[in-house]
Structure 1
Amino acid sequence: MLFAAGLGTRMRPLTDSRPKPLIEVGGQTLLDRALDLARAGGAGPVVVNTHYLGQMIADHLSGQDVAISDEADLILETGGGLRKALPLLGQGPVLTLNPDVIWRGANPVAALRAAWDPARMDALLMLVPLAQTRGRVGAGDFSIGDDDRISRKGDLVYGGVQMLNPDRLAELTDQVFSLNLLWDRLIPEGRAFGLIHPGAWCDLGRPETIPLAEAMLNGG
């Protein structure tokens, strides 16, 4: 699932007239980059949720094998949005992608799929060492142990791609909620794991990060 329902307020004025996933970086929209990443990594079926200027995203995806989960009436955040989209995603573990990041190096989707172990895991997050990030503001999010289990705080940044057991969403009853709430259940249970991305990564949070991402893509 690609999360494309956000308001993109930090990207203004670029998002005054278009949703953030349709901003171009290096001649390609963030949404198309995320779709290419998912498909190359072997993920499918693909669902994109929409809210702000959602019709523009739907028009952009017209004719492609992508389902739309419409949140026009109420933006549901990541957890609520994923739960609403589950009927479109089908059975089995799901991958979620944030389109507003740029990756260089190994495909994180393929890496997560290869490392997924449902006997031990209910969540597997792709993490990036803080020193390998660009455009990041603030500290890291997680630490990782010798057994690859994660804990809060540390110098590893959540990269915006993860694999989840969607059955655990049934334990959360709010209509609107963040997947952070699910992580907070899984971490003390020892069911949340991390995988470290060996390449570079850029957070597209603000207009001034676009040149950083393009330089990274060009090898800078």
Structure 2
Amino acid sequence: MRHMPGAVMLFAAGFGTRMRPLTDDRPKPMIEVAGRPLIDHALALVRETSPDRIVVNLHYKPGLLITHLDGSGVVTVTEEPDILDTGGGLRNALPHLGTAPVLTMNPDAVWTGPNPAQALYDAWDGDRMDALLMCVPLARTIGRSAPGDFSIGAGGHLSRGGDLVYGGMQIISTALLHDIPEQVFSLNRVWDLMLARGRLSGLVHSGRWCDVGHPEGIAAAEAMLEADHG
């Protein structure tokens, strides 16, 4: 397989609106679950893949994350003056990420079961994929109120709609980021280009996943970790 990922990007720039009032004085990735900030849960997963480098984008209350990550080897990129959304944020960080595909992760979720980052690396095939999204069956999600995002077909190809939830982790080729003219844009725009090319693929996680984007998700995630890992 060619074009293997070398870098990891963690999206940590958001305002954490759904997590208020807990995010009134801190960015969402600094919210603790089971005694550790969400950013540390995410870092533990991606570090098991031995990435060449890890980049974290910042915007809302960046100082707390900069201090927390100091000395960890993680590169921080602060988006100023405006937040750039996921697509714009990833493109903005490319000087630190290189040209190879990137593993990206939203740190506002907790996972159990096999390491989803390692599973993505093991399944990645740049010859036939532009992105590989880690998806979770709706029945194995906790705290997800909306319907699913995708269905998976022959060869792992994704289509919109279905009972698979995008878990916020993927490997993505960054070439198509340059086809979006706007500065601020979602990665959904890039996925649509990949869907049209038949090169958006999915992988189904065999464990469970909990959304920690709102205060109730903290206790739910801790209960899930206790039940699945003890």
TMscore range, shorter length: over 0.9
Matched, 1:213 2:186: no
Say which is worse superposed, 198-207 or 40-49, in terms of deviation.
40-49
Report the 3-state secondary structure (helix = DSSP H, G, I; strand = E; otherwise coil) of the residue aligned with 1:147: helix
TM-score (norm 2): 0.94
Deviation at 1:219, TM superposition (A): 1.3
SS at 1:110 equivalent? helix
Q: Is the 8 A contact 1:43 1:95 kept in 2?
A: no
* Cα deviations by residue, 1:100-132 (Å, 9 ceiling, x for unpaired): 000001111111111111110001000000000
Per the alignment, in what secondary structure is the counterpart of residue 176 of structure 1? Answer: coil
- 1:151 paired with 2:165, answer no
Higher mean C-alpha displacement, 53-62 vs 40-49 = 40-49
1:23 to partner: Cα distance:
0.2
Which of 16, 21, 41 is the equivalent residue of 1:13? Answer: 21
Per-residue CA deviations over 1:32-72 (Å, capped at 9, x if unaligned) read 11111110123331000000001111011011101111113
Give ranges in structure 1 of 5+ residues lacking alignment. none
CA distance in 1, matches of 2:27, 2:10: 14
Match of residue 107 from structure 1: 115
> Which residue matches 1:36?
44
| Matches of 1:160 and 1:44, distance apart in 2 | 21
Q: Could you tell me which residue of structure 2 aligns to residue 85 of structure 1?
A: 93
Structure 2: gaps (5+ residues) = 1-8
| TM score, norm. by length of structure 1 | 0.98
Distance 1:147 1:159 in 2: 20
Match of 1:164 in 2: 172
Query: Runs of 4+ in structure 1 displaced over 2 angstroms?
Result: 41-44
Give the distance between the partners of 2:192 and 2:99, measured in 1 at CA.
24
8 Å CA contact retained: 1:11, 1:205: yes
The aligned length equals 220
